[in-house]
Amino acid sequence: MDAITVSGMTVVYDKQPALENVSFSIPEGSLTGVIGPNGAGKSTLIKAALQLIPVRSGTVEVFDQPYKNQKQLIGYVPQRSEVDWDFPTNALDIVLMGRYRQIGWFKRANNKDIKWARACLEKVGMEGFAKRQISQLSGGQQQRVFLARALAQDASIYFMDEPFAGVDAATEKAIIQLMKNWKRQGKTVLVVHHDLSTVEDYFDHVLLLNKRPVDCGPTQSVFTIDNLEKTYGGSIAFLQKTTPAGGR
Amino acid sequence: MNYTLWIILTGCLVGVTCGMSGVLLMLKKMSMIADAISHTVLLGIVGAFFVSQSLNGLPMLIGAAVVGLATAFFVESLHRSGIQSDAAIGVVFTSLFALGVVLISFIGDQVHLDTKHALMGEIAFVPWDTLQIKGESYGPVAVWMLGTVLVLNLILIAVFYKEIKISTFDPQYAKLIGVPVAFVHYLLMGMVSLSTVASFDSVGAILVVAMLIVPGATAYLLTDRFITLLLISGVVGILSAMIGYGAAVYWNVSIAGAMASATGLLFLAAFLFSPKHGWLMKKAKQRRLAANS
């Protein structure tokens, strides 16, 4: 079964198309990397699929149902730079935001929610930082707080926007661990990624995107030099150096 | 209760009501919308007068809320259509305010509402305008209005505390997890509009901006916790009113002006001496670091 099906998605910024008629589907339980050059619309694709930005046209289905009926199944890790880390609150509070649907309107987080949130912090190696003011965390630690918040949601499908951007080795390890755990639990994960050298290690599926989808499918058959050439245009000499798939 | 105490109470209510709603705008990085709303509510007040033929509390509150929300809506719509948000604020607030100024001239001598009063307010008159029910006097109308708005604001903040917090920190994520982000946004705009109009009589359209923005900015220098930020902001508002009144009596100057100046002085004090984010602490820290290396 397909976890996500996007059909005919077009997004326009200031008359410039950011995405043109993008259609693809992601099988349930897959770990998919969204790959493409800068400005290819990778982050835009995630935001458009989650209806966080206005789209010109296109539909999104989640497990063959319209997206709007399935929102509760979706977890999201935005780019770290999209929020103000000077906001007056601590790490635990941010993670508790992930429990919003479970806590519900008008109610406050109870002990069970707090325990849950702490467990999520522990899973990303941040148990010692629960009460730490978020502005006093390093970039990698902030990213892990976002991971813990996504974990706290206990979603079936996770969207992650450049989670590896500017993080330390420990955080990178925590992210990989988390993605593998999610895969083992049968969850579907879609990750915007730009480091071509790690694509084959991290992802079993790849969506190659440059405003339009170039190809989408299992990494072995899609992550080829031909396809990368189509996606990245002329910069292929650089690609051959960094990509193990260069010979295929 | 005597005249002086009524004035101090009114000032404190202005301080705490504006301080607590203004700080929420500051966190949303929308402080300047407070400036816009504080001016455009004039149109709401004038409009309410045309409809109800009086300057009663309730029609004024409704008129201000409607125009305040309309201001926020127009700014948002213009911004979405591609106009920079500061320009959008400038366009919307000057045009709606100008319309209010024009309409005021039609009212003429019928009631005590003129441009100067609207801009500067006159807290010294507040105790004379009392709530009359069957010949009995129940204290100044301004105090009743401010009290009502304060209680309403506190209830709304308490009920939507979680929603306000999430949608301020990360609106996109909030939208995804089912927080009614747009509703919360207009709720805040409504709270700011009501706080503004309730404070209008006392401090006027210009100085109310000081009460909306400065206490929050001061509190921001003093704490790293959301709830404490709200509380400190309210307390700074109250302190400003008290210090301002004292200063105004001592030097025989404008009460509202002195209160607004007091917010500025408190901000300056926090800016210099805050234990966490103050200028002196930062300097001392830099010196320590330099000495160690």
Task: Tell me the pLDDT tens digit for each residue of A100-112.
Answer: 988 887 788 889 9
Mean pLDDT along residues A186-192: 94
Q: Which residues of A touch B225 (CB under 8 A)?
A: 88-90
Please count the CA atoms within 13 angstroms of the CA of A139 that sit on its side-chain side: 12
Interface TM-score (ipTM) > 0.90: no
Interface contact flag, A50 B176, Cβ < 8 Å:
yes
Q: Which amino acid is residue B83, in one-letter code?
A: I
CATH classification at residue B141: 1.10.3470.10
Mutate which: A16, A44, A97, vs B, most B CBs within 10 A = A97
pLDDT at A240: 52
Residue B133 within a domain: yes
Q: Closest chain B residue to A80 measured between Cα atoms? A: B170
Choice among A67-71, B56-60, B177-181, B227-231 with the minimum mean pLDDT: B56-60
Provide the pLDDT confidence category of residue A135 given band limits of 50, 70 and 90: very high
Task: Tell me the pLDDT tens digit for each residue of B190-245.
Answer: 999 899 888 877 888 778 899 999 999 999 999 989 999 999 999 999 999 999 99
Residue B231 within a domain: no
pLDDT beyond 80 at B256: yes
3-state SS assignment for residue B93: helix
pLDDT at B1: 66
The number of distinct structural domains making up chain B is 1
Question: How close, in Å, is residue B102 to chain A by CA atoms?
Answer: 37
Copy the structure tokens of residue B50: 């045309």
Residue B258 within a domain: no
- Domains of chain A, CATH where assigned: 2-84+155-247 (3.40.50.300)
pLDDT at B109: 62
- What is the average pLDDT value for chain A, to the nearest integer? 88
pLDDT beyond 70 at A248: no
User: For B64, phi and psi rounded to 5 degrees?
Assistant: -65, -40
Residue B235 within a domain: no
CA distance A62 to A66: 6
- Is residue A238 within 8 Å of residue A37, measured between CB atoms? no
Residue B134 DSSP symbol: T
pTM for this predicted structure = 0.88
CA distance A69 to A168: 37
Provide the pLDDT confidence category of residue A235 given band limits of 50, 70 and 90: low
Nearest Cβ partner of B226 from A88, A97, A149?
A88
Task: Tell me the pLDDT tens digit for each residue of A197-232.
Answer: 888 889 999 999 988 888 888 988 888 888 888 888
Interface contact flag, A94 B173, Cβ < 8 Å:
no
Residue B218 within a domain: no
- Bridge partners of A34, per DSSP, are A192, A207
Residue B221 within a domain: no
Question: How close, in Å, is residue B61 to chain A by CA atoms?
Answer: 26
Provide the pLDDT confidence category of residue A5 given band limits of 50, 70 and 90: very high
Residues of B with CB under 8 A from a CB of A: 27, 29, 82, 159, 161-163, 165-166, 168-170, 172-179, 220, 223-226, 228-229
Residue B241 within a domain: no
Q: Closest chain A residue to B27 measured between Cα atoms? A: A87
Domain interval for residue B175 = 3-213
pLDDT at A113: 92
pLDDT at A246: 42
Secondary structure (DSSP) of A102-145: HH-TTPPP-HHHHHHHHHHHHHTT-GGGTTSBGGGS-HHHHHHH
